[in-house]
Structure 1
């Protein structure tokens, strides 16, 4: 079986402004996704909002610079991920389609195969 990373992107302001009822529905959709995927989910977490991120880069002198905030300045930020094991991309697309971020106007899901180094 191959491994796939599902990267969940969205507008942090939209997520931060969700009501308790909206979060409840959102969380229920993730529970339904995990139930449908079963043992194919081998990892995953929601991430703290992107402004809390710390980015590392090297300056021209070769010194590591620490920067508060995400690596890129974008409206959509990485909000969470799942790591799945599946037979093929079609199976992953079918499962990922259950995620609420696929249908929300401010978010989306990116599927990336994982490179396995031996």
Structure 2
């Protein structure tokens, strides 16, 4: 089965921010190493690196005209910070891998969603 693991950053410190810089260097290295291990885990296809939510644009269409606003669709704490595509035997295996994502322990959350076929 395929799953998309959506990483919601929440209050997770992001590189280049004051909260990240306040983390001990050892913890910063640990976070990078954990993401590196996840990227190489069996069944994982890493998602493309996403920019910061503050740099996003949200687009809605009204009567064929694009309405563009600055920022993510939701507030920054609720914005998607990244994702993985995972081929796993079942939901239990997907949840197990999701629990290893650093954001899950650093103030964020991981949404595990099965991939579905609609067409």
Q: Normalising by structure 2, what TM-score?
A: 0.80
Aligned residue for 2:20?
18
- Take 2:11 and 2:50, find their aligned partners in 1: how far apart are those partners? 11
Backbone CA RMSD of aligned residues: 2.2
For 1:31, the equivalent position in structure 2 comes to 36
CA 1:13–1:81: 2 relative to 1, 3 Å: closer
Equivalent residue in structure 2 for 1:56, among 52, 56, 59: 59
Match of 2:104 in 1: 102
CA distance in 1 between partners of 2:98 and 2:39 (Å) = 10
Q: Point out the structure with the larger strand share.
A: 1
Unaligned regions of 5+ residues in structure 1, if any?
A: none
Helix, strand or coil at the partner of 2:47: strand
The CA deviation string for residues 46-99 of structure 1, in whole angstroms up to 9 with x for no partner, is 31110111111023x442112221012253321110011111101111111111
* Unmatched 5+ stretches in structure 2: none
TM-score (norm 1): 0.81
